[in-house]
Amino acid sequence: MAGSSEHKKWAMPMTADNHVWFDSSVTPHRALTPGGLVLCSLLLLFPSAVLATMLVIFHAWPASCFVGAESALAVVALHWCWRRLARQGERVIITDRDLIVQRWDGRATHAERVEPSWVSLERRMHEEFGCEALYLRVSRRRLRIAAMLGPDARARLGDALEAALEARKRGFARGAQQCNL
């Protein structure tokens, strides 16, 4: 699991009377590696530096300040988004007693517990794009999960979660299903 270690304090103890049926961690996809982030930053800064130098040569130095500030702001925003994605995540756990949806964003950890016997999985499907959203429905409440995943990964998570809910309802103790996306 990528991100902060704050979510580990919510780990469920494995006891004989509290079987874990499903445990999945979801983190956002980060397309840029640390080296890719540096490369993108350089690709943003180099043309701006060339343009700023040309503006200074042509005695338009006030415009070069704006070019430098704008590109520096773009690089800072890119690094901020990259670091923020590294600290986000979600975990769904189904045990005999609880269904826990835990989310962390680097600043705080939020967890919601519900009775898994009353939970149903709801999917919002689109013909062309696939699974647009997954919701856990408990009476009139809807709890959205896996919003940070793509349609295919969201559909796989939904299938695994649905199978775990059904297995728990049937009462077959086959062991925990692992689904790491």
Higher pLDDT, 12 or 4: 12
Collapsed DSSP state (helix, strand, coil) of residue 126? strand
**Tokens 């270690």 correspond to what residue?**
5
Q: Tell me the mean pLDDT in the region 144-157.
A: 90
pLDDT for 165 beyond 80: yes
Q: How far apart are CA 21 and CA 177, in angstroms?
A: 6
Q: What is the pLDDT of residues 14-46, one digit of tens each?
A: 555 678 889 999 888 777 888 999 999 999 999
pLDDT for 49 beyond 50: yes
**Tokens 């756990």 correspond to what residue?**
93
Q: What is the pLDDT of residues 102-129, one digit of tens each?
A: 998 878 888 889 888 888 899 998 888 8
Which residues lie across from 134 on neighbouring strands?
123, 145
Q: What is the pLDDT of residue 130?
A: 87
Q: Tell me the mean pLDDT in the region 48-55.
A: 94
Q: Tell me the mean pLDDT in the region 2-6.
A: 40
Burial of 102 per CB tally in 10 Å (0-12, 13-18, 19+): buried
